[in-house]
Structure 1
Amino acid sequence: MRWNSLRKRQSFHSTLEMNPKMQLLLRDTRQLRQLYIKMQMAHVVCLVLAIFGTQSHGYEVYNIISPNNNGGNLQETVTVDNEKNFAIINIHAGSCSSTTVFDYKHGYIASRVLSRRACYILDMKHKAIPALDQLKRYIYEKKALKNMYSDKYIWVKYSPLQSLITHVDWFLFGSPIKQLCSHVPLYKGEVVEKTHDIRAEACAKTGVLGILGISICAGTDA
């Protein structure tokens, strides 16, 4: 049987050498198989990017869709610049939309609230503010685990009368915050541990909702 099998293989190879069409067919088959493997690998890469965000030239972009209290969906777009060490969060919620800049290079957070036509800035040196790598990990987890949610907020107090910054040092705050806030009033906020001296009805929710929410509120002296 081994002899017959060997003769069959030899006969097949002899026929293959004499038949150019069969050679071409086998070559096309190999090329198709290689193309299939490449397509499968590309599919895996696309799947990973869809889960963990789009990365290009030091940028990472994440689109997060989560349910809101009205039974609809809320969309957030997070852009991370790893080279310049800042993150921009856009909350798309109609009149409640906001944009927040986490500038880790300069050490400041600024939020611009659409409904108020104003910016609020605070020092990042607080234990409640995570590092950029930790913030990105929270975003990974929120995208991968759809049910991940936290209703905890950082409470930021400001005074409409006393907190307005009239002479802004944009070099101190950095260009991302300047681009966000240069054409609207800029107020200085402070993180507070207790909420007894703020007006809860006068709060705006910004930041990364469900991960690192920032509730900006007017003080009771306003």
Structure 2
Amino acid sequence: MNPAFANNVVQLINKGNDGGTVYQTVNINHDVNIVTFNVYSGAHSSNAIFDYDHGIVAYHVPYKKMCVVSKMNRVTFPTLNQLEDMVNNQRGLNSLHRSYGISLNYVRNVAGLGAPIWATCKGLSTFWATEYDRPQRVLSGTVCMGVKLLTLDVNLCGGVMLF
């Protein structure tokens, strides 16, 4: 999503785990009910897109050349307005934790998930994931990768072959 078309853009610069600078943006667009997160941290940059109209969440991890998509759990996922309030008021920024178990099943029709997800994941290996409550016991042979977005702490867990 082009930030020029966003209704609300929030920017944050902070220190990463390695002491380097991490630049993050959150673009909130009420016209199309989309929120995008962009984390610019060199080789470990990542993006996430929340498509509220289609109920799909996508995590784009370019340094792994993959996308992970999941259905949005509307019972536990903050609404667009709630998320915007959290971002704008810098409240509860560390309270949103999401963990996903990544299947080895490829998404066969990324375009069928809607244009925003297609634009984010086209040409990449895209896998389905299922959200689960934390804490989740990690099974042998499973690897987790953390993606720290401005308001979200995301764990993507899957088989060793994925990572």
Into which bin does the TM-score normalised by the smaller protein fall? 0.7 to 0.9
Where structure 1 has 5 or more consecutive residues not aligned to the other structure, the ranges are 1-54
State the alpha-carbon separation in 2 of the partners of residues 151 and 99 from structure 1: 19
Q: Tell whether the 8 Å contact from 1:154 to 1:214 is kept in structure 2 after alignment.
A: yes
Give the 3 Å change call, closer, same or farther, for CA 200–109 of structure 1 in structure 2. Answer: farther
Farther off after superposition, 58-67 or 118-127: 58-67
Is 1:164 the counterpart of 2:98? The answer is: no
State the alpha-carbon separation in 1 of the partners of residues 139 and 74 from structure 2: 19
Secondary structure of the structure 1 residue equivalent to 2:64 = coil
Which letter does structure 2 place at the counterpart of 1:138? M
Comparing both structures, which one devotes a greater share of its residues to helix?
Answer: 1
Q: Tell whether the 8 Å contact from 1:157 to 1:219 is kept in structure 2 after alignment.
A: no
> Offset at 1:67?
2.7
2:49: which partner in 1? 101
State the alpha-carbon separation in 2 of the partners of residues 201 and 104 from structure 1: 30
1:79: which partner in 2? 27
1:218: which partner in 2? 158
Secondary structure of the structure 2 residue equivalent to 1:112 = strand
> Offset at 1:93?
1.2
> Offset at 1:130?
0.6
Which letter does structure 1 place at the counterpart of 2:58? A
1:186: which partner in 2? 126
State the alpha-carbon separation in 2 of the partners of residues 207 and 122 from structure 1: 17
> Offset at 1:127?
3.4
Which letter does structure 1 place at the counterpart of 2:136? T
Give the 3 Å change call, closer, same or farther, for CA 169–201 of structure 1 in structure 2. Answer: closer
Secondary structure of the structure 2 residue equivalent to 1:197 = coil
Secondary structure of the structure 2 residue equivalent to 1:176 = helix
Q: Tell whether the 8 Å contact from 2:110 to 2:117 is kept in structure 1 after alignment.
A: no
1:34-113 equivalences under 5 Å are: 59-113=7-61
Where structure 2 has 5 or more consecutive residues not aligned to the other structure, the ranges are none
State the alpha-carbon separation in 1 of the partners of residues 5 and 95 from structure 2: 33
TM norm structure 2: 0.82
Give the 3 Å change call, closer, same or farther, for CA 206–212 of structure 1 in structure 2. Answer: same
Q: Tell whether the 8 Å contact from 2:144 to 2:157 is kept in structure 1 after alignment.
A: yes
Q: Tell whether the 8 Å contact from 1:100 to 1:206 is kept in structure 2 after alignment.
A: no
> Offset at 1:58?
5.7
> Offset at 1:201?
7.9
